[in-house]
Amino acid sequence: MYDFSFQSPVKSMAGRGKFRSIGEFTGSKKILLISDKIISSMAFYGEIKELLKGRIAGEFAGVMPNPECEMVDEAVTLCKSCGADCVIGIGGGSVLDTAKAVAVLSCEEGKTADYMAGKALGRHRQELILVPTTAGTGSEVTNVSVLTDPKINKKLSLVDPILYGDIAIIDPCLTETMPKRVAAASGFDALCHAIEAYWNIRTSPLCEALSMEAVDKIVKNIYPACNGDGDAQEEMVIASYIAGISFNQTRTTVCHAISYKLTSDYGIDHGLACAFTLIPFLRYESEDPAVKAALDRMGRYCGFSGSEALIDEIDRLYDAVGLPRHLSDRGVKPEDVDAIVDAGMAVPITKLCKREVTREAMHRIITDLL
Amino acid sequence: MYDFSFQSPVKSMAGRGKFRSIGEFTGSKKILLISDKIISSMAFYGEIKELLKGRIAGEFAGVMPNPECEMVDEAVTLCKSCGADCVIGIGGGSVLDTAKAVAVLSCEEGKTADYMAGKALGRHRQELILVPTTAGTGSEVTNVSVLTDPKINKKLSLVDPILYGDIAIIDPCLTETMPKRVAAASGFDALCHAIEAYWNIRTSPLCEALSMEAVDKIVKNIYPACNGDGDAQEEMVIASYIAGISFNQTRTTVCHAISYKLTSDYGIDHGLACAFTLIPFLRYESEDPAVKAALDRMGRYCGFSGSEALIDEIDRLYDAVGLPRHLSDRGVKPEDVDAIVDAGMAVPITKLCKREVTREAMHRIITDLL
């Protein structure tokens, strides 16, 4: 008995060199470019500026990781003052999430913090083009913008169909410059997206098919991609995009739920903060016979005998790409575990796992990771 | 090296009994219901009318198979005169394609034939809700409306993003009433969609994943679905919907290209007209090593050893669901073959097959089917 919904309205163009078509999608609009310090110094960013010459009304290159309300307000103010009616975000998840919020909030009067506190987003936004430069977040195809309110030190998600972009440009040329550390963590972020959409109570045959395809690509390509193989990097950005479409239908689950506090309180990068708990939760979820059967199918799709061999391979890859194993190395102390579990259990998406995540299980898993 | 685009903007809700939520999606709109003689006599149609009581501005229950321009004009006139701002299509592909055209053309001044002759569609349409009652066409998620111009006796496709619906309701309760003959032919239509998107030069990892999932479901369920098994019917409507998303990205290919003349000149139902040539073209395409490798992967996905076993199973199912093998039984004569080949080669989508379809190959395949 099926019960699901599916929609993926962002028109996505994928291919090597696609970013050079960016001028075709913007017409005669006045453009605000949003990026960060590193991206805005890249050669491809200069090339994009050249392609859009005469149409750029403003540039905001000040996005920081885990974008905060006030920074978004600053970009919104610039968008209004420069009269831009098209926002182009070029960067990782933080840049894309900022660009999505700016495209909507620049048509509104309120402050970003108001909307994070529950005020409804309006029904209008500027034209919105999203160009990922990492292979992980999937933000280019989701209706979510994850922002941080420093007053309450909390990551919160704005979720609304108005946050879907018009166009996503998935170009492996733009992810080649990722440092290995970023490629590893963002690749595991994408793996979390695919798997959390798969063991999700909201999954569907479409999400299952897309997640299996994404996991197959990630498992085969994350290691060579982290070591500079261009073909593998291309597979990774496609896989991240596919995983984005999948989890956009379902939302993520427990690994993401736990990650928020690890990022807010311990400064752990988003991708790594999610990756830390993926493997123990894969083993936990697969103790449920129905989840095991589904993961067995995913394992066979990826060329393994079943779920155990797949999980073992993910475990091996975790070390191979150099991700750290111990939360204690990141400043998490045994006395912190209760608070992390409290926070993780309180995030509603934890309840989307097919096998119910108990407080005891989460406590044990986090303790084992110290 | 990837080069593809992907988009699926229709918000789709799938599940048994979902049609009973139809009132929630229409707000206070004035509704035009579009269906055909058979559908409008069904119990579920009466139930939908009851659910929308007081909001129905008009009913057009006169859609005929292979909808003709003048019939669409008639429905457009009704839509305008009754002041409807929401079109709901409930039926098979002909009904849905009519509803899509009416939703757009009721915001325009021209006649349907003008747009089929190349006039550009406008940028506005009425709200559009699509409710399939067969498991085959995938029309509920595509941006295509296939209409017939009787003056030139030709099927032509309007293709435009404005033809995407707002909402699709995929409800297996509504496909239970399909006669076995319709279930068999429309099931093979869906199979053609999935496979023609798969051996397509425009395919992508997303289309491959979705097509494999659709084919797996169809191969496992078409026979029991044709024999009244409710669970199998549910799988078939989901599979048809998934195949629709897949071929919406790529367009169909040679089987559909040949079908148009078989329908126009010999009155063969659309699904059967496509199905006739599927198996010989599967064998033809799989002679190309790259296509064979892809079909081997699809075969394994469906639990077979490879492409040959999969094609053999499709061949077996073709007989099992009672589809006819010989074009000559439908009035096609040996002297007609050249004209059918001419027509098939002239349809541009024939060129979308990964293995080039030669005139000689098409001639041999159609001759063998006499």
User: In Å, how far is B333's CA from the nearest CA of chain A?
Assistant: 43
Q: Given this model, what pLDDT does residue A195 score?
A: 98
Q: How far apart are CA A168 and CA B80, in angstroms?
A: 37
- The residues, ordered by sequence, that sit 6+ positions from A200 with a Cβ below 8 Å of its Cβ are A207, A247, A250, A251, A253, A352, A353, A354
Q: Given this model, what pLDDT does residue B151 score?
A: 85
Residue-wise pLDDT tens digits, B47-82? 999 999 999 999 999 999 999 999 999 999 999 999
Residues of chain B with pLDDT under 70: none
Q: How far apart are CA A328 and CA A62, in angstroms?
A: 31
Residue-wise pLDDT tens digits, A154-181? 888 999 999 999 999 999 999 998 899 9
Please tell me if residue B208 touches chain A, with a CB cutoff of 8 Å: yes
DSSP class of residue A34 equals E
Q: Given this model, what pLDDT does residue B345 score?
A: 98
Q: CATH: 3.30.2290.10, 3.40.50.800, 1.20.1090.10, 3.40.50.1100. Which one for B180-368?
A: 1.20.1090.10
Please tell me if residue B210 touches chain A, with a CB cutoff of 8 Å: yes
Q: Given this model, what pLDDT does residue B280 score?
A: 98
- The answer to whether B97 and B139 are in contact (CB under 8 A) is yes
**Reported ipTM:** 0.95
Give A-chain residues touching B18 at CB under 8 angstroms: 3
**Facing B206 at nearest CB: one of A7, A234, A242:** A242
How would you classify the pairing of strands B3-15 and A154-159?
unpaired
Q: What is the mean pLDDT of residues A332-336?
A: 98
Is A291's pLDDT higher than 80? yes
Q: Given this model, what pLDDT does residue B27 score?
A: 75
Q: How far apart are CA B66 and CA B267, in angstroms?
A: 10
User: In Å, how far is A73's CA from the nearest CA of chain B?
Assistant: 30
**Facing B15 at nearest CB: one of A3, A12, A206:** A3
Nearest CA in chain A to B208: A213
Which CATH fold topology does B11-174 show?
Answer: Rossmann fold (3.40.50)
**Domain ranges across chain B:** 11-174, 180-368
Residue-wise pLDDT tens digits, A175-205? 998 899 999 999 999 999 999 999 999 999 9
Please tell me if residue A304 touches chain B, with a CB cutoff of 8 Å: no
Nearest CA in chain A to B210: A209
Please tell me if residue A206 touches chain B, with a CB cutoff of 8 Å: yes
Q: Given this model, what pLDDT does residue A100 score?
A: 98
User: In Å, how far is B342's CA from the nearest CA of chain A?
Assistant: 34
- The residues, ordered by sequence, that sit 6+ positions from A263 with a Cβ below 8 Å of its Cβ are A66, A155, A269, A270, A273
Instruction: Tell me what percent of the residues of chain A surpass a pLDDT of 90.
Output: 95
Q: Given this model, what pLDDT does residue B327 score?
A: 98
Q: How far apart are CA A362 and CA A244, in angstroms?
A: 25
User: In Å, how far is B6's CA from the nearest CA of chain A?
Assistant: 5
User: Using the beta-carbon criterion (under 8 Å), do B5 and A16 form an inter-chain contact?
Assistant: no
**Facing A5 at nearest CB: one of B9, B11, B245:** B11
Q: Given this model, what pLDDT does residue A337 score?
A: 98
Is A93's pLDDT higher than 80? yes
- The letter for the amino acid at B295 is L
Within chain A, residue ranges assigned H as helices are 43-51, 69-82, 93-105, 112-116, 180-198, 205-226, 230-250, 254-266, 270-275, 278-285, 289-301, 307-320, 337-346, 359-368
Q: Which pairs count as long-range contacts for B206-209, CB under 8 Å and 24+ apart, including other chains?
A: B206/A210, B206/A213, B206/A242, B206/A245, B206/B4, B206/B6, B206/B246, B206/B249, B207/B4, B207/B6, B207/B246, B207/B247, B207/B249, B207/B250, B208/A213, B208/B294, B208/B297, B209/A209, B209/A210, B209/A212, B209/A213, B209/A242
Please tell me if residue B160 touches chain A, with a CB cutoff of 8 Å: no
Is A153's pLDDT higher than 80? no
**Nearest to A210, CA basis, from A238, A182, A189:** A238
Residue-wise pLDDT tens digits, A246-279? 999 999 999 999 999 999 999 999 999 999 999 9
Q: Given this model, what pLDDT does residue B42 score?
A: 96
Q: Given this model, what pLDDT does residue A154 score?
A: 80
Please tell me if residue B20 touches chain A, with a CB cutoff of 8 Å: no
- The residues, ordered by sequence, that sit 6+ positions from B24 with a Cβ below 8 Å of its Cβ are none
Q: Given this model, what pLDDT does residue B330 score?
A: 96
Q: Given this model, what pLDDT does residue B153 score?
A: 73
Rounded (5°) CA angle A224-A226-A230 = 60
User: How many residues are recorded in chain B?
Assistant: 370
